[in-house]
Chain A
Amino acid sequence: MSKTPLIASISSGKGGVGKTFITVNLAACLARKRKKVLVVDCDLGLSNIDIMLGINPKLTLKDVIFGDVNVDDVLITTKGGFDFVPASSGAKEMAQLLYENIETIKNAIANIAEGYDYVLLDIGAGISETVLQFNLFASRNIIVLNRELTSLTDAYAMIKVIYQMFGRNSFDIIVNSARDEEEGKKIFNHIDAICGKFLGFPLHFLGHIVYDDSVQHSIMKQQLLMQVSPGSIPARNCVRIADVMTRWKAS
């Protein structure tokens, strides 16, 4: 029996909020729960999942688009127990893709998605056509934000654009780098209230992730937090978010 994968996008509008960190660690959590997980680096111009995972892929999505490479050949199985499709960093031609190129990637993902429980798309910053197209491709849209005002406004702008362009009104929010659970909830309640007031729909709180030194430590070591410090508070926060995600139904 073939499974229907749940494709979720992880975006933030603003860069440097922790999308990639969250994507790989959630993937590892889900993998531990015996889920088959595929992570696709959709930050096509400036990708860096490979750096976060400490790997050096020879072939990337660039070769799928511009070369004669099959997406299967690009696929890497990581130490975290999930599969990974890397993109290439600094490739200028990848930064400005034509609609057709995005279609090629989407088709490639769709072709290998069968058999996975979750496909997580790590999406670049900004609200370019590429970013929007991948959000539309995913059936669930996770938005990451932190306590910075610019992160908040960018996350809101992202939600507003996706809502106005595609009519989506269901978003899952992760508050990253929170001081504690209380602050995480406070930040969520704030953006949720504004969404309700101006756009007319509520947001879903997927969870918060507390910041402590273990996060930076794992990033510097180019390893997963789930492996370096599985007992840390942020690691446990990730597990809780993954728990919520396992209750999602594939659409």
Chain B
Amino acid sequence: MPPKTLSEILTKNEAISLLLNAKGGMKETAIIALTKNLSPHDQETLNTLRHLVIDFDDDLIKKIAELHDENIQLKSLALIDNLTGLFNTRFFLQNLETEMARTKRTGHSCSLMIVDLDNFKLLNDTIGHVAGDKFLCEVGNILRENARKTDMVCRYGGDEFAIIMPATELHPAIRIANRMNDAITRIPTPEVVVITSSIGIAEYKASSLYKTDEFIKAADSAMYTAKKSGKNRVSVSSEPAGVKTQPVAVTIEEKEALVKGLKKK
């Protein structure tokens, strides 16, 4: 069998997984990692070519390395919020669904927190958008610092943040929310505007009937309750997740039976 060219081996997709860093000045550190299912023949060929890869400016390697980097960047662009470096809405929606499914499977509740800044528009108007953006980054850091390793802190639109808390019941979620609420209040603001936060929390239990959008809505409406009741506070979705809370009214039949039966006596 004639030895293959490097290109031939590298384009044999199913056999290769690459980790390359052969760009620009780093070309000497080019590394090629290959899966085990590369045939001995391919491996041998590659070995004979290895020093060539390092010593020569191989256009193919360069191209692959560039593509690889671009891929990583594209992936992160799609899931990371540009400004704050937190996860973005897309990541949030994907992972919320996953966590809800996990709750159903494991039986452990997960909680969702929606954090909305109070008076942020006023701050933005006062100090300008650039400083406002900086403030948002600071809030992002505060949320990340006060969250636990397993929590997923996401930016959910303008000055709103969403935090997915796997395997977390309402009570510990409230504790963390209070901590975040306190910390946000302490971020120094350059002007007289005081920025606080209104936080809403909802719990998703194994018995919950919520769909993803209903679960978000529950946390969101708790956040609005916090806002309406005076801001700078934590509020909890008054509906235990998925349970019909509108207490099921006594039906007409039941009422009639209750009233009639007693009158007879």
Which A residues form the contact surface with B (CB < 8 A)? 98-100, 103, 127, 129, 147, 149, 152-153, 156-157, 160-161, 164-165, 186-187, 190-191, 193-194, 197-198
- Is A152 a contact partner of B236 (Cβ separation < 8 A)? no
Number of A-B contacts (CB under 8 A): 63
Chain A residue at smallest Cβ distance from B229: A96
- Cβ-defined partner of A98 (8 Å) among B236, B254, B257: B236
Determine whether B258 belongs to the interface, using a CB cutoff of 8 Å to chain A: yes
- Is B262 a contact partner of A164 (Cβ separation < 8 A)? no
Q: Restricting to B170-204, which residues have a CB under 8 Å from any CB of A?
A: 170-171, 174, 178
Q: How far is the CA of A101 from the CA of B245 in the complex (A)?
A: 20
Taking CB atoms, residues of chain A closer than 8 Å to B178 are: 100
Taking CB atoms, residues of chain A closer than 8 Å to B250 are: 153, 156-157, 160
Chain B residue at smallest Cβ distance from A164: B248
Chain B residue at smallest Cβ distance from A167: B207
Chain A proximity of B203: nearest CB distance (Å): 10
Determine whether B100 belongs to the interface, using a CB cutoff of 8 Å to chain A: no
- Cβ-defined partner of A152 (8 Å) among B243, B245, B248, B262: B262
How many B residues touch A, CB cutoff 8 Å?
Answer: 26
Taking CB atoms, residues of chain A closer than 8 Å to B174 are: 99-100, 103
- Is A194 a contact partner of B236 (Cβ separation < 8 A)? no
- Is A100 a contact partner of B234 (Cβ separation < 8 A)? yes
Chain A residue at smallest Cβ distance from B236: A99
Determine whether B211 belongs to the interface, using a CB cutoff of 8 Å to chain A: no
Interface SS of A by simple majority: helix
- Is A194 a contact partner of B254 (Cβ separation < 8 A)? yes
Determine whether B213 belongs to the interface, using a CB cutoff of 8 Å to chain A: no
- Is B259 a contact partner of A153 (Cβ separation < 8 A)? yes
Which B residues form the contact surface with A (CB < 8 A)? 170-171, 174, 178, 234-236, 238, 240, 243-245, 247-251, 253-255, 257-259, 261-262, 265
- Is B247 a contact partner of A127 (Cβ separation < 8 A)? yes
- Is B248 a contact partner of A129 (Cβ separation < 8 A)? no
- Is B171 a contact partner of A165 (Cβ separation < 8 A)? no
Q: With A164-B248, A190-B265, A198-B253 as known contacts, state yes or no: A156 contacts B258, CB within 8 Å.
A: yes
Taking CB atoms, residues of chain A closer than 8 Å to B245 are: 165
- Is B261 a contact partner of A193 (Cβ separation < 8 A)? yes
Can you list 21 residue pairs at the A/B interface with Cβ under 8 Å? A98-B236, A100-B171, A100-B178, A103-B171, A127-B247, A129-B238, A153-B259, A156-B250, A157-B247, A157-B249, A160-B247, A164-B247, A164-B248, A165-B244, A186-B265, A190-B262, A190-B265, A191-B258, A193-B261, A194-B257, A194-B261
- Is B248 a contact partner of A160 (Cβ separation < 8 A)? yes
Q: How far is the CA of A161 from the CA of B251 in the complex (A)?
A: 12
Q: With A100-B234, A129-B238 as known contacts, state yes or no: A194 contacts B244, CB within 8 Å.
A: no
Q: How far is the CA of A160 from the CA of B248 in the complex (A)?
A: 8
Q: How far is the CA of A230 from the CA of B84 in the complex (A)?
A: 72
Q: How far is the CA of A165 from the CA of B248 in the complex (A)?
A: 9
Q: With A99-B174, A164-B244, A165-B243 as known contacts, state yes or no: A149 contacts B262, CB within 8 Å.
A: yes
Q: How far is the CA of A161 from the CA of B244 in the complex (A)?
A: 10
Q: How far is the CA of A190 from the CA of B258 in the complex (A)?
A: 8
Taking CB atoms, residues of chain B closer than 8 Å to A103 are: 171, 174
Q: How far is the CA of A147 from the CA of B263 in the complex (A)?
A: 10
- Is B243 a contact partner of A99 (Cβ separation < 8 A)? no
Of the candidates B238, B244, B250, B259, the one having the most CB atoms from chain A within 10 angstroms of its own CB is B250
Q: How far is the CA of A161 from the CA of B249 in the complex (A)?
A: 8
Of the candidates A98, A152, A156, the one having the most CB atoms from chain B within 10 angstroms of its own CB is A98
